[in-house]
Structures are given as C-alpha cells and as structure tokens.
C-alpha cells in the first residue's frame, strides 16, 4: 500500500482545493484496496461512498455555513456576495482537508493493525435498507441520554443470555 507524505499535505487547510483533498481521499482509499469510490454533492451536503473488506460505506459531510452569512442566491455580484462566496469556499477547503487527513489516519491505523476498517468507519457502514449505522443509532443514543436509561437496541436475531 502506498502512503502519502502528510507533512507536505498538512498546512493551514485552506491552501488546498476541495478537488485536491477529494483526490487525496480517493487515492488513499484506492491504495488501501477500496473499490467503487464515488463522490456526490447536493447543496451543502457532500458524500463519499466506497466498498472495502466486504462492506459498503457512506460518509456524508455537511459543509458549515459561516455564522451571520447566508448562502449566495441569485446572480447579483455584489461585494457581500463575493465575500460570502470566498468564505464558503475557504470553509469547504478546510472541511475537506480535515476529512482527508482523518481518512488517511484511519487507514494508517488499519494498515498498522491497530484497528479494523469496520471499527474506524463503523458509523458509516451501510446497512440493509440503505441506512448507515449512525442513522440507526443516533436517535437511540439521544433517547438514552435524555431518559437516563440503557438503550434498547433490538432487531437482533439472537437474544442475549444474561
């Protein structure tokens, strides 16, 4: 497996284009042995999906909206719109750069035998029905914290013998 020298990749994060960070993520996943690596975007949501180690994964990244600045709508090219577009672009660059670094770190942990791919990306495993583990467990965890009760994670084929 080839590795990427993160010392040259790591700087402030906004100096790398979103495309460069996406390419870095794709290259790292492919070098690891992942297949069917796909990117998609809808509004402020970006997603990457891939297959590896007999599992399908999907990670959704929500690009943050800067405080006090609304999205640029329409075609008016005023100063505020240009500033907003620049801020949005810098935020996107930082988020994608951080995602690239975290993906590389997770894959390095797996390659070193410190973790498994499934444990590093467990929240993003796609389950039958096309929902991810995090989609299924987030409301269960929130409810457990709210109620103070142990969560009930049912739908298991074999009941626990206590």
pLDDT by residue (tens digit) across 32-91?
999 999 999 998 899 999 999 999 999 999 987 765 544 444 444 455 566 788 888 888
pLDDT by residue (tens digit) across 122-131?
999 999 999 9
What pLDDT sits at residue 56? 98
Domain residues of the chain, as ranges? 6-147
Please return the burial class of 28, using the count of CB atoms within 10 Å of its CB with bins 0-12, 13-18 and 19+. Answer: buried
Would strands 35-42 and 45-52 be described as parallel, antiparallel, or unpaired?
Answer: antiparallel
What are the two backbone dihedrals, phi and then psi, of residue 126, each rounded to the nearest 5 degrees?
A: -85, 125
Q: What is the token pair recorded at 102?
A: 């975290």
More confident residue, 34 or 13: 34
d(CA 70, CA 104): 32
Residues contacting 17, CB < 8 A, separation 6+ = 93
Is residue 2 over pLDDT 70?
no
- Taking Cα atoms as reference points, which of 129, 6, 110, 116 lies closest to residue 58? 129
């Amino acid at each position: 497996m080839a590795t990427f020298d993160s010392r040259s990749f790591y700087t402030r994060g906004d100096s790398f284009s979103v495309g460069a960070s996406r390419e870095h993520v794709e290259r790292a996943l492919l070098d690891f042995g992942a297949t069917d690596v796909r990117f998609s975007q809808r509004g402020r949501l970006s997603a990457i999906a891939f297959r590896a180690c007999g599992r399908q994964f999907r990670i959704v990244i929500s690009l943050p909206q800067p405080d006090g600045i609304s999205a640029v709508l329409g075609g008016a090219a005023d100063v505020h719109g240009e500033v907003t577009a620049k801020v949005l672009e810098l935020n996107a660059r930082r988020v994608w750069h951080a995602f690239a670094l975290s993906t590389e770190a997770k894959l390095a942990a797996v390659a070193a035998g410190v973790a498994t791919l499934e444990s590093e990306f467990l929240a993003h495993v796609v389950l039958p029905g096309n929902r991810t583990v995090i989609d299924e467990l987030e409301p269960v965890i929130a409810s457990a914290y709210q109620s103070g009760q142990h969560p009930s994670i049912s739908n298991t084929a074999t009941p626990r013998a206590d």
